[in-house]
Chains A and B, each alone.
Chain A
Amino acid sequence: MPTRTETPVYHPDLYSAAAIRDTYPHYAALRHLGPVVWLSKHKVYALPRYAECKQVLLDDDTFVSSGGVALNPVANRVGQGTTLFSDGDDHARRRSLLAHRLTPRALRTMKDMVDQQAVAVVEAAVARRTIDAVEVAMALPMSVVPDLVGWPRQGREHLLRWAGATFDALGPLNCQAVRTLPASVGMLRYARGVVRDRSVLDSSLGHDLLRAADEGRIMPAECATMMIDYLAPSLDTTISAISSALHLFATHPEQWRLLKADPDLVASAVNEVVRYESPIRGFSRTAAHDTELAGTLLPKGSRVLVLYGSANRDPLEWDDPDTFDIRRDAARQLGFGQGTHGCAGQGLARMETSAILRALVEKVDRIEPAGTPEWALNNVIHRLERLPLELIPA
């Protein structure tokens, strides 16, 4: 059985600024090297192919999250007590406190409101005609999510910066993580204040958490981290999906015409957007005991990096993976993770992204590039920073 000395090694820094802005060539090189590749720079086994990513995500007894899912020991310690960093019954208990509020079943009552807000956002964008589509992509999540989580109105202006910084902190401890560290600490401090002052909005997720703490079902100290648990991943990720969708339809006009001709393709288009430009690059897991993965021996404690963005472009799994095609069956894509830790907010993310796409189909004839897009610098989130577009009204 191969040991680490026989495992292919990749030396380039997957988290350099250049690699963050243009990661796909690195993913292709990693997939070419093998199913399990040692990243010498980050001291972790990268999993660049679909099959192993899926195997690890579905085997949460062997590949655990309680050692943290970040790539640095500081975040893996600070993040203790979150749903993201827990396993087994402990994870199930935390997830059950809030996830039921986010299922498609629970979100039905929000659908009309989300649809109406999406139409308003798109109408305002069409009226401006030339837009930064990232700003447009921010509007719906920012109008829906903070209310749902119950974040007080005061302090919301920092939310996006704080949430982005929280994701930066889950990568390696590089310049990017260090530069944004004060902002991620700022979010934690603010969340603790919100819990201390009980200033969460009534009948929100945050309110449920306070009640759970009052009833002794969770520790009071866990309330703040669990609010961040749900808030931080619910903004940048959806903004990524919506802005990537706009970018992809602007650069693939034939796909836009397909969607215009058959709006029933919206659900399939959302899967394809998340496959093609996966909002989260990767999270790690730790081997709970000596194990073997695709012929590679992984001693207990080995850290593996599940590269969602690479798995979703793996030619062993997908025909023409670098082709954006909304008719493709991309439902099995791993952009939301999968299994026990599968994104709890994916119903909401699908609802928001679909609502924007339906409103665009109705109000917009063509989407045209109006400048050079820029990708954001973030260790974990893959999203556009700036996307100049022109919307030609229907």
Chain B
Amino acid sequence: MKISVDYARCEGHGLCADQASGVFSLDDDAELTYHFEGAEVPEEHQPASRAAVNACPVAALRVLS
């Protein structure tokens, strides 16, 4: 499973980090960090990652495969 992040769309609402804290995090400036950029999301994080994609208010996250 790979996820694409549209950083231009991201407004920093942080709902992804609430869903999948091991995959997404927001720093003090509400800037998003995606911990598996360009890599496969490990299996144990996949259900939470799907929930994060599903919750993004501005649809900045997409499951690629």
| Closest Cβ neighbor of B14 among chain A residues | A104
Chain A positions within 8 Å of B12 at CB level: 103-105, 347
Contact with A along B49-60 (1 / 0, CB 8 A): 001001111110
Interface residues of A, count at CB 8 A: 19
Contact with A along B25-37 (1 / 0, CB 8 A): 0000111000000
| Closest Cβ neighbor of A347 among chain B residues | B13
Cβ of A58 within 8 Å of any chain B Cβ, yes or no, is yes
Cβ of A127 within 8 Å of any chain B Cβ, yes or no, is no
Complex CA distance for A340 and B59, rounded to whole angstroms:
7
Complex CA distance for A99 and B10, rounded to whole angstroms:
11
Complex CA distance for A122 and B58, rounded to whole angstroms:
32
Q: Are A331 and B55 touching (Cβ within 8 A)?
A: yes
Chain B positions within 8 Å of A338 at CB level: 56-59
- Which interface class (under 10, 10 to 19, 20 to 34, 35 or more) fits B? 10 to 19
| Prevailing SS type, chain B contact patch | loop
Chain B positions within 8 Å of A182 at CB level: none
Q: Are A331 and B51 touching (Cβ within 8 A)?
A: yes
Complex CA distance for A343 and B58, rounded to whole angstroms:
8
From the candidates B11, B19, B55, name the one contacting A104 in the complex (CB within 8 A).
B11
Complex CA distance for A11 and B18, rounded to whole angstroms:
42
Which A residues between 207 and 228 are near B, CB-CB below 8 angstroms?
Answer: none
Q: Are B59 and A105 touching (Cβ within 8 A)?
A: no
Chain A positions within 8 Å of B30 at CB level: 103-105, 108
Chain B positions within 8 Å of A99 at CB level: 11
Complex CA distance for A179 and B59, rounded to whole angstroms:
37
Complex CA distance for A165 and B3, rounded to whole angstroms:
42
| Prevailing SS type, chain A contact patch | helix
Complex CA distance for A332 and B13, rounded to whole angstroms:
13
Cβ of B5 within 8 Å of any chain A Cβ, yes or no, is no
Chain A positions within 8 Å of B51 at CB level: 329, 331-332
Which A residues between 291 and 344 are near B, CB-CB below 8 angstroms?
Answer: 329, 331-332, 336, 338-340, 342-343
From the candidates B18, B29, B31, B57, name the one contacting A336 in the complex (CB within 8 A).
B57
Cβ of A199 within 8 Å of any chain B Cβ, yes or no, is no
Cβ of A16 within 8 Å of any chain B Cβ, yes or no, is no
Cβ of A76 within 8 Å of any chain B Cβ, yes or no, is no
Chain A positions within 8 Å of B59 at CB level: 58, 338-340, 342
Contact with B along A96-121 (1 / 0, CB 8 A): 00010001110010000000000000
Cβ of A130 within 8 Å of any chain B Cβ, yes or no, is no
Contact with A along B1-21 (1 / 0, CB 8 A): 000000000011111001100
From the candidates A58, A105, A346, name the one contacting B29 in the complex (CB within 8 A).
A105
Which A residues between 329 and 370 are near B, CB-CB below 8 angstroms?
Answer: 329, 331-332, 336, 338-340, 342-343, 346-347, 350
Q: Are A331 and B29 touching (Cβ within 8 A)?
A: no
Min CB–CB distance A372 → chain B (angstroms): 35
Which A residues fall within an 8 A CB radius of B? 58, 99, 103-105, 108, 267, 329, 331-332, 336, 338-340, 342-343, 346-347, 350
List 19 contacting pairs A-B, 8 Å CB cutoff, sorted by A: A58-B59, A103-B12, A103-B30, A105-B12, A105-B31, A108-B30, A329-B19, A329-B51, A331-B18, A331-B55, A332-B55, A336-B57, A338-B57, A338-B59, A342-B58, A342-B59, A346-B13, A347-B12, A347-B13
* 6 residue pairs, one from A and one from B, having the closest CB atoms: A331-B55, A105-B30, A339-B59, A103-B11, A342-B57, A332-B54
